A and B are shown apart, each in its own frame.
Chain A
Amino acid sequence: MSTTTTRKVVIEPVTRVEGHGKVTILLDEAGQVERARLHIVEFRGFERFIQGRPFWEMPVAVQRLCGICPVSHHLAAAKAMDRIVGGENLTPTAEKMRRLMHYGQMFQSHSLHFFHLASPDLLFGFGADPELRNVIAVAGKFPELGKQGIMMRKYGQEIIRMTAGKKIHGTGAIPGGINKNLTIAERDELLVELDQMKIWARAAVKIARDYTVDNLEMALGFGSFESSHMSIVRADGAMDLYDGGLRAITADGKTIFDHVDNQRYADYIAEEVKPWSYMKFPFIKSIGPENGWYRVGPLARVNACDFIDTPEAEAVRQEFMAVTDGKPNNVTLAYHWTRMIETLHAVEKIEELLHDPDLQGDDLVVKGERRNETVGIIEAPRGTLFHHYVVDDNDQVVMANLIVSTTSNNEPMNRAVEGVAKKYLSGREITEGLLNHVEVAIRAYDPCLSCATHALGQMPLVVDLVDASGALLDTRKRG
């Protein structure tokens, strides 16, 4: 006799990033996985918080959104405010300083994720005891990898400090430009370690590539699914992480839209609200809310671009695309490989910029015709980041709408978790193995699940198994 009992497995990290989140795996009457949801309780309050503030504060104020990628918010807001002051055609010095800051951010963020968050999974296996599957354990077996992660992260942070003025609450980008150039001394300091960074970036691409190729059969069945992909691309179709038109492609590579003017994003992307989450669900309007979800981030960017304009990254991009005969790659675990392709691209761009004398220029700011509405879009490490503002004639922000990359990847993460849960969960127990695999699937997207508040004494992960009546069947804590 069947019953109507539905059990819920709840994985609830208490830390707050774009809010705090939990995973709910819904079981059917037979105890099998019916569907999975990742709830990220995004604090939409931030968009209200900045209303009434003067527009020139935005590039600094929005950095308080996120402790992980404040530089991305800083630059997206600055790009938006450029248009408010009519200064979107930046001077070469201003644009190149911002790009250097951005590539520094990309380099350190991707390195951190790969060496310190993902590598324990890849090196020790998804099923390994979490006590042995972390960055400290990596030191025991692969001490050089962990050290590389530290030094690559430090290098990127130094670039940020030199371009943004300081590590947190940087003020480098301002409406219409930048407030400092790069001194010769700063440039030379960064050049000292550049070659080492390139060597490590190349080696990291190889680790990620070898892992994916050697485990391709497993990866194909690990939370993978077909999806659309979206990013900005340069006018000639090249990958451009700082500026470009919006491009979206289908799972097999057909164009959905291309070179969309950033100011018109709302004609192509809409956001849906669902009752079980505070987070909005962006979708491609022409496809509709049911199937219009898409992936963003490194995998989407490598899939969507026509080429990469730095030689070493382009070579490894071609190798990556060859795995799927030039079609988009829809393997969730391939995010790691593409993340390292972008890391190599970032360090190549850093090298290009450090040898460009425009970085020592003195023409830092431009202004032009004042506007009241503006959109700034940038490719943050985790994907496309939208900042949309309306400013009144008193220079106060009266409307703000932000679409962060983790929001765009929400439905893909749901799909990834669902796929993994269907494979690894049955019965009434939250096994360590299930939890490990759910973590690995989510981690591939590098979601932003940990900023805002982190005060001592909070628990990062709680897992509950609850029956239909609300009774707790099982619980697990980690951290």
Chain B
Amino acid sequence: MGVPIPTAPRLRSGPMRVLVLGYGNPGRRDDGLGPRLAEELSHMGLPGVDVDSAYQLQAEDAAAVADHDVVVFVDADVSCPDPFEMRPVLPAGEPRFSTHSLAPETVLSMAWKYLEAKPEAYVLAIRGEDFDGFGEGLSDRAQRNLSAALGFIEKFLEERASSCEKAST
């Protein structure tokens, strides 16, 4: 469920900037896993880490992505293994029907192509099970998976910051 911590040199000078962007609809049960992780993470006040949340990814998120060195998109997932899965994201196009929401790959691609920024990017997919009906709060399974994902992302961010410091000294 983890990923190797990349050690590629950063393109910009100054302190590393990290963005954790949780997205989903908190009014649709486990679909709110992304915003919920963002909320919990923001309470930790990790240095150098910007935390944001949204119903769904949108074009303007490309601007926020372009302003950071490392980006972690956090979303609920209907089929990944419990409790979560972290995977790198590469830019890709995404033809869609009439939808107004974008995939992480598309947002990243827009940052690359329109804004000439190439941050490292990951998706943290947290397994949920209840996406039906309206209602707030997570299922027990999603709550357990959220706790595991929070522990992981906190450690990931610390290690990422540490590896960056070593690379710059």
Q: Among A191-199, A383-391, A442-450, which stretch is in contact with chain B?
A: A442-450
- Chain A residues with a Cβ closer than 8 Å to the other chain, count: 59
- Is there contact, CB below 8 Å, between A460 and B114? no
Chain A contacts for B52, CB-based, 8 A: 167
CB of A449 within 8 A of CB of B113, answer no
Residues of A within 8 A of B (CB): 11, 13, 15, 43, 45-46, 49, 61, 64-65, 67-68, 70, 108, 112-113, 115-117, 130-131, 133-137, 139-140, 143, 146-147, 149-151, 153-154, 157, 167-169, 439, 442-443, 447-458, 460-461, 478-479
A448 cross-chain contacts in B, Cβ below 8 A: 100
Partner of B106, one of A65, A136, A447: A136
Q: Are A134 and B94 in contact (CB under 8 A)?
A: yes
Would you call B19 an interface residue if the criterion is a C-beta within 8 Å of the partner chain's C-beta atoms? Answer: no
Query: Contact at B100–A112, with CB atoms within 8 Å?
Result: yes
User: Contact at B54–A167, with CB atoms within 8 Å?
Assistant: yes
Asked whether B59 lies within 8 Å of A150 as measured between CB atoms, the reply is yes
**B→A interface (CB under 8 Å):** 24-28, 30-31, 35, 52-56, 58-60, 62-63, 75-80, 92-101, 106, 109-110, 113-115, 123, 125, 128, 131, 133-135
Question: Contact check: which of B77, B109, B134 meets A43 at CB < 8 Å?
Answer: B134
Which A residues are in CB contact (< 8 Å) with B135?
Answer: 49
Q: How far is the CA of A112 from the CA of B63 in the complex (A)?
A: 14
> In the complex, what residues of A have CB within 8 A of residue B115's CB?
147, 150
Asked if residues B28 and A479 are in contact (CB atoms below 8 Å), the reply is: no
* CB-defined contacts of A133 to chain B, threshold 8 Å: 95
Decide yes or no: A451 and B56 within 8 Å by CB, A136-B113, A147-B114, A457-B78 being known contacts.
yes
Q: Is the Cβ of A64 less than 8 Å from the Cβ of B27?
A: yes
Contact A454 B60 (CB under 8 A): no
- Does the CB pair A154–B60 fall under 8 Å? yes
- State in angstroms the CA–CA spacing of A149 and B135 once bound together: 33
Say which residue of B56, B79, B96, B106 sits within 8 Å of A67 (CB atoms). B56
For B110, the chain A residues whose CB sits under 8 A away are 135-136, 139, 146, 150
A64 touches B134 (CB 8 A): yes
- Which residues of chain B come closer than 8 Å to A139, judged between CB atoms? 109-110, 113-114
A-B pairs, top 10 by smallest CB distance, nearest first, are A64-B27, A67-B55, A450-B99, A136-B93, A139-B113, A154-B60, A130-B95, A49-B134, A461-B97, A153-B60
